[in-house]
Amino acid sequence: MTLETAANTIMERCDILARFSEEPDRLVRRFATPPMKQASETIAEWMRAAGMTVHQDNIGNVIGRYEANHADAKTLMLGSHLDTVRDAGKYDGPLGVLTAIACVERLHERQERLPFAIEVYGFADEEGLRYHSAYLGSSVVAGTFDQNILDRTDNAGIPLAEAIRTFGGDPDNLVASKRPSDDLLGYCEVHIEQGPRLEALNLPVGVVSAITGHSRFSIDFIGQAGHAGTVPMHMRRDALFAAARVIEGIEKTARPQQGLVATVGQVTVEPGASNVIPGKVTISLDVRHQDDLIRHLACHQLEEQAHQICASRGIATQWQEVQDTDTIRCTPHFIRLMEQSIEQLGYDAHVLPSGAGHDSVALVELTNVAMLFVRCKGGISHHPAESVMAEDVAVAIQVMEQFFTLLAHEQGQA
């Protein structure tokens, strides 16, 4: 398979996976749902066709393995996630899984084995859309999964443990799916950049230096529902007016602070009728900064501010932290190998941080990590307009293959 065919196949396969959605008119593929089953089964077929043995682990990750040229060889992990956000693009996640499969398929076609085995992971959850906690799939593989969240329910009241069981997994034995680390060389992930920097530099790919730390909260505002026509304004305890003030404060706090980003992406109003005063509001809050101390201070400040606003309006508020992940650095040695691979292909090796979260955040607890970003059109992501070019995907395949060659040299058996 030529490079061009391999890149075009990846693009076509991204289109195919984008059809496996919970909603007919937009792409939504949450953890352990029937469309996720279709995506996993399709990925498993493509893995088998590329010469891999395949299994699903106890959380629902799909894992393909391509053996090395000798017994007792080490293993390089590749991959990304198969779940999506709501109204997602086609490339965030699947691009990494499919590029990994394409690299293995090209080895298989040439009947070539490397001095290390390759394992390709299609992680079952990275976005955390269904259970609000990211990296469910990769944290099981890393052995850092938090058992306390197995009782957490989704919007339909289904506990995480039950969703895992329905998907064919085993919530009681997730520890068995921790990947032993003794034979691992590391984990490498190809991912759409999701930002505008590579496009501005006119570069097809770039190397990730670090992944920004990240806090997520679920915040309840509890007031008093009542009749929209009869309760005078000064007697109201309107949960939504309080939440609106708090949201405004979040923007005012975050805007002037260099590198701080804060997002309220979900607002639920109850009981939710035009002629009823909102009695309860729940919002999500996502806060990120490369400096963990600044992020924690900002979160603390936002919580204090919210308590003050709510106290002055007779509104009770409850902050629940649903995620707190520190900034991670990619492995310096792997960054250098990735830079060399890019330079040997004749491109400038640009190193950039990631504002988006990735499975490497969980896997850095297990092994070395590296990420290769692919240029993104207009920096648009988490949106159906997300777009990459087949030519850039072809470069990503080449960089990965060069990376394998450098790693093989290091194993002394090129």
Q: What residues line the site for Mn ion (CB under 5 A)? A: 92-93
Alpha-carbon gap, residue 402 to 94, rounded angstroms: 21
Residue whose CB is less far from Mn ion, 134 or 299: 134
Residue whose CB is less far from ligand GLV, 236 or 289: 289
**For residues 185 and 151, is the Cβ–Cβ distance under 8 A?**
no
By a kind-dependent CB cut-off of 5 to 8 A, residue 27 interacts, out of ligand GLV, Mn ion, none, with none
By a kind-dependent CB cut-off of 5 to 8 A, residue 213 interacts, out of ligand GLV, Mn ion, none, with none
By a kind-dependent CB cut-off of 5 to 8 A, residue 189 interacts, out of Mn ion, ligand GLV, none, with none
Question: Which secondary structure element, helix H or strand E, spans residue 138, and what is its range?
Answer: helix 136-142
| SS3 category, 104 | helix
Instruction: Give me 145's structure tokens.
Output: 């999964």
What is the gyration radius of the CA atoms in the chain, in angstroms?
23
Q: Shortest CA distance to 381 belongs to which of 353, 354, 349, 342?
A: 354
Neighbours of 259 (CB within 10 A): 13
Nearest distance from C-beta of residue 354 to ligand GLV, angstroms:
8
Indicate the residue type of 333: H
Nearest distance from C-beta of residue 320 to ligand GLV, angstroms:
18
Nearest distance from C-beta of residue 288 to ligand GLV, angstroms:
8
Residue whose CB is less far from ligand GLV, 206 or 213: 213
By DSSP bridging, strand 261-263 and strand 280-289 are antiparallel
Q: Shortest CA distance to 120 belongs to which of 171, 69, 181, 48?
A: 48
Q: Shortest CA distance to 363 belongs to which of 192, 194, 166, 126?
A: 126
By a kind-dependent CB cut-off of 5 to 8 A, residue 161 interacts, out of ligand GLV, Mn ion, none, with none
Nearest distance from C-beta of residue 361 to ligand GLV, angstroms:
9
By a kind-dependent CB cut-off of 5 to 8 A, residue 89 interacts, out of ligand GLV, Mn ion, none, with none
Nearest distance from C-beta of residue 356 to ligand GLV, angstroms:
4
By a kind-dependent CB cut-off of 5 to 8 A, residue 357 interacts, out of Mn ion, ligand GLV, none, with ligand GLV
Residues numbered 61-80 forming contacts with ligand GLV, rule: CB under 6 A: none
Residue 82 found at the interface with ligand GLV (CB under 6 A): no
Indicate the residue type of 276: V
Residue nearest to Mn ion (CB): 92
By a kind-dependent CB cut-off of 5 to 8 A, residue 93 interacts, out of Mn ion, ligand GLV, none, with Mn ion
Environment class of 274 (CB within 10 Å of its CB; exposed 0-12, middle 13-18, buried 19+)? exposed
Q: How far is CA 243 from CA 228, 249, 287, in A?
A: 18, 10, 17
Residues numbered 321-360 forming contacts with ligand GLV, rule: CB under 6 A: 356-357
Residue whose CB is less far from ligand GLV, 178 or 382: 382
Q: How far is CA 285 from CA 107, 139, 215, 302, in A?
A: 44, 22, 8, 10
Residue whose CB is less far from Mn ion, 90 or 280: 90
Residue whose CB is less far from ligand GLV, 94 or 357: 357
Residues numbered 354-393 forming contacts with ligand GLV, rule: CB under 6 A: 356-357
Residue nearest to ligand GLV (CB): 357
Residue whose CB is less far from Mn ion, 139 or 402: 139
Nearest distance from C-beta of residue 344 to ligand GLV, angstroms:
30
Nearest distance from C-beta of residue 284 to ligand GLV, angstroms:
11
Nearest distance from C-beta of residue 125 to ligand GLV, angstroms:
11
Alpha-carbon gap, residue 181 to 177, rounded angstroms: 12
Q: Could you please report the per-residue DSSP string of 357-402?
A: --THHHHTTTS-EEEEEE--GGG--SSTT----HHHHHHHHHHHHH
Binding residue count for ligand GLV, defined by CB under 6 A: 3
Contacts of 187 (CB under 8 A, 6+ apart): 76, 77, 78, 79, 359, 360, 363, 366, 367, 368, 369, 370
Residue whose CB is less far from ligand GLV, 1 or 149: 149
Residue whose CB is less far from Mn ion, 93 or 278: 93
Nearest distance from C-beta of residue 132 to Mn ion, angstroms:
14
By a kind-dependent CB cut-off of 5 to 8 A, residue 94 interacts, out of Mn ion, ligand GLV, none, with none
Which residue in the block uniquely carries the two structure tokens 């490498």?
188
b/e for 6-25, b at 16 or more Cβ within 10 A?
bbebbbebbeebbebbbeee
Judged by CB under 6 A, the residue of 127, 193, 238, 392 near ligand GLV is 127
Residues making contact with ligand GLV (CB under 6 A) = 127, 356-357
